[in-house]
Amino acid sequence: DTGVSQDPRHKITKRGQNVTFRCDPISEHNRLYWYRQTLGQGPEFLTYFQNEAQLEKSRLLSDRFSAERPKGSFSTLEIQRTEQGDSAMYLCASSPPLAGGETQYFGPGTRLLVL
């Protein structure tokens, strides 16, 4: 399967713990995006990378959130000192360079529950 993959698919943690999610984009896609989706809402943009450079961060991304894409391939999203309000689906998407780059292809998401 050559689609966007995310790991883990589900994560349950206790408030105050740190969690890390991984996203593997489609091969040769140079742009990678993170979104957060809460129940009954559409996804909200968090941040995105072009290759290894993080180009933009949403105001939704508090100081407890950090994302990396060290070699321009996979990306990680870490949440420190989790809070119950962090419970959501975290979606990753990627898009190819140049022509066709307008379309983002989504992974299955990581569902986070903070107890």
Partner 1 sequence: AQTVTQSQPEMSVQEAETVTLSCTYDTSESDYYLFWYKQPPSRQMILVIRQEAYKQQNATENRFSVNFQKAAKSFSLKISDSQLGDAAMYFCAYRSYDDKIIFGKGTRLHILP
Distance CA 34, CA 13 (A): 20
Among 34, 109, 110, 114, binds partner 1 (CB under 8 A): 109
Q: What is the pairing mode between strands 65-68 and 75-79?
A: antiparallel
**Judged by CB under 8 A, does residue 44 bind partner 1?**
yes
Task: Between 44 and 83, name the residue whose CB sits nearer to partner 1.
Answer: 44
Q: How far is the CB of 44 from partner 1 (least distance, A)?
A: 7
Non-local CB neighbours of 41 within 8 Å, separated by 6+ positions: none
Task: Between 42 and 85, name the residue whose CB sits nearer to partner 1.
Answer: 42
State how far Cα 44 lies from the chain centre: 11
| Among the residue ranges 14-22, 37-45, 64-72, 74-82, the one whose residues contact partner 1 (CB under 8 A) | 37-45
